[in-house]
Amino acid sequence: MRPERTVDVLIVGAGPAGLAAAAGLAAAGVGRVEVLEREERAGGVPRHCHHGGFGARTFAGLTGPGTSGPRYARARVDAALRAGASVRTGVTATGWAGPLTLDTTSPRGLERLTARAVVLATGARERPRAARLVPGSRAAGVYTTGELQQAVHLYGQHIGTRAVVVGAEPVAYAALDTLRRAGVEVAAQVTAESRHRATPWRAAESRLRYGVPLLTGAAVTELVGRGRVSAVGVRHRTGLLAQLSCDTVVFTGDFVPDHELARRGGVSLAPGTRGPAIDADFRTDIPGVFAVGNVAHAVEPAGAVAAEGWRAAVSVRRYLLSGRWPSVVRGV
Ligand SMILES: Cc1cc2nc3c(=O)[nH]c(=O)nc-3n(C[C@H](O)[C@H](O)[C@H](O)COP(=O)(O)OP(=O)(O)OC[C@H]3O[C@@H](n4cnc5c(N)ncnc54)[C@H](O)[C@@H]3O)c2cc1C
């Protein structure tokens, strides 16, 4: 038997989107607003992004430096708590027991929570190696950027000595920063595209200052090694094959919405994003269930998803007051 409780609004995910929605709703006095976060610390992805650039503002075409991810995450958590929301960490929403009832699990036990409205803010994650269909052994030493950052910045784990980074989007350059901080040499950055997708100065800094070669038009075709990765097989679009020796491989970018909970609840997904289909008011096709942040679209800057969270709070409050839900939600 699970203990059962009711709250007014239940928010799943304490990243920038969920925390902003929580702050907005609690400040508006809608009643008990509870945020569930499966990690031990709230804040979402910025918790483990030690670079700056979070919450940066643009003025007259110039963008400021922003702040570090952990500092940004703490500020978002503090704002939600100050507004009166309750943020519970180490609690995972595992499934649905009714349209607005979620089952949870945590080290303290199982629980069943019913709300007047549910906000899904579960974010997005990078596609892991298995889903990218790279053949080869199941050797250790293979990460996504998120896994790498958590291992280095949250748990201080030893990573390896020589890495290959797959991808050339901004997130790949964040992975290079983390590898540098962990003292790992980078053998090469490999991308199937014809050029990098980062700012010119970021790409130039990586090549010229840190000496990281960027191999364009090349795909990683194989992971080699028993127990631990010892090399990656690379195929250039001209057909040339090569092996790069390394003990660490980081797959970057290629984000997919963390839609598992939405799917289990029968929420329709948008074919384009594979996240919950929502209308302009963040409503899904299940009355009372909203979705906000990266779960509903491609990865956006933290400030942009936090702004969505505030707007979603207005929609949720309007629904709590009116009880109205349109019969057709765009994209479904
Ligand atoms: C490597 C990297 C670098 C970045 N750098 C920048 C930058 O410099 N500047 C910038 O503005 N943005 C940056 N971003 C983007 C920014 O971090 C994200 O857009 C933002 O964190 C998305 O917020 P979110 O709330 O939608 O999701 P997330 O931050 O992903 O938060 C979702 C939360 O939901 C929790 N969760 C998921 N499922 C459950 C469940 N079933 N039960 C309980 N909890 C659950 C997760 O644990 C997670 O904490 C970066 C992103 C990455 C990956």
In the reported structure, the alpha carbon of residue 16 is separated from the centroid of ligand 1 by a whole-number distance in angstroms of: 7
Same structural domain for residues 188 and 94? no
> Which pLDDT value is given to residue 58?
67
pTM of the entire structure?
0.89
Which ligand 1 atom minimizes the distance to the CA of 125?
30
Q: Is the CB of 146 under 6 A from ligand 1?
A: yes
Q: Would you say residue 330 lies in a domain?
A: no
Using alpha carbons, select from 90, 10, 18 the residue that is nearest to residue 294: 18
83 part of a folded domain: yes
Is 102 inside any structural domain?
A: yes
Name the residue of 122, 179, 254, 292 whose CB sits within 8 Å of the most ligand 1 atoms, as the mutation to test its pocket.
Answer: 122
Do 39 and 94 sit in the same domain of this protein? yes
Identify whether residues 72 and 156 lie together within a single domain: no
Q: 37 with 61: CB under 8 angstroms? A: no
Identify the domain boundary among 251, 275, 301: 251
| Helical ranges in 1-139 per DSSP H | 16-27, 69-83
Domain that holds residue 190: 128-251
Contact of 249 with 143, CB cutoff 8 Å: yes
- 195 in the same domain as 183: yes
Residues, the chain: 332
- Residue ranges for the chain with pLDDT beneath 70: 58-63, 130-133, 328-332
Q: Tell me which amino acid residue 152 is.
A: V
In this structure, are 226 and 175 located in the same domain?
yes
Both 114 and 159 in one domain: the answer is no
Residue 206 Cβ inside 6 Å of ligand 1? The answer reads no
Angle between helices 16-27 and 302-322 (to 10 degrees): 40
How many angstroms separate the Cα of 56 from the Cα of each of 4, 53, 67, 78, 268? 41, 5, 7, 19, 34
Q: Is 44 in the pocket of ligand 1 (CB under 6 A)?
A: yes
225 within a domain of the structure (yes/no): yes
Give the integer Cα–Cα distance in Å for 104 and 64: 40
Residue pLDDT, tens place only, 9-27: 999 999 999 999 999 999 9
What residue's CA is closest to ligand 1, atom 49?
44
Same domain, 117 and 259: yes
| 302 lies in the same domain as 214 | no
For residue 312, tell me if it sits in a domain.
yes
At CA 254, angle to CA 268 and CA 159, rounded to 5? 130
**Gap from CA of 293 to ligand 1 centroid (Å):** 8
The total number of structural domains in the chain stands at 2
Is residue 331 in a domain? no
pLDDT at 61: 67
Closest residue to atom 10 of ligand 1, CA basis: 301
pLDDT at 63 (0 to 100): 65
Distance 87 CA to ligand 1 centre (A): 16
Strand partners, 34: 10, 86
If you search the block for the tokens 């549910």, which residue do you land on? 118
Q: Is 54 in the pocket of ligand 1 (CB under 6 A)?
A: yes
Together in a domain, 263 and 118: yes
Task: Name the residue at shortest CA distance from atom 41 of ligand 1.
Answer: 93
On whether both 146 and 235 belong to a single domain, the answer is yes
CATH number of the domain bearing residue 10: 3.50.50.60
Strand-pair partners of 143: 250
Q: Please give the Cα distance from 93 to 288 (Å, whole number).
A: 17
Q: Which of 196, 229, 251 is the last residue of a domain?
A: 251
Taking the mean position of all CA atoms in its chain, how far away is CA 126? 8
Residue 237 Cα to ligand 1 middle (Å): 34
Angle at 273 between CA 154 and CA 191, to 5 degrees: 65
Quick check: is 329 in a domain? no
| Ligand 1 centroid distance, CA of 126 (Å) | 11
Query: 260 CB contacts (<8 Å, ≥6 apart)?
Result: 122
SS3 state of residue 308: helix
Q: Is residue 306 part of a domain?
A: yes
Confirm if 296 and 273 have CB atoms less than 8 A apart. yes
How many angstroms separate the CA atoms of 317 and 29, rounded? 9
Do residue 37 and residue 120 come from a single domain?
yes
Calculate how far, in angstroms, residue 234's C-alpha sits from the geometric centre of ligand 1.
31
Same domain, 121 and 162: no
pLDDT of 332 reads: 47
- Rg, C-alpha atoms of the chain: 21
Task: Choose the final residue of a domain: 251, 266, 283.
Answer: 251
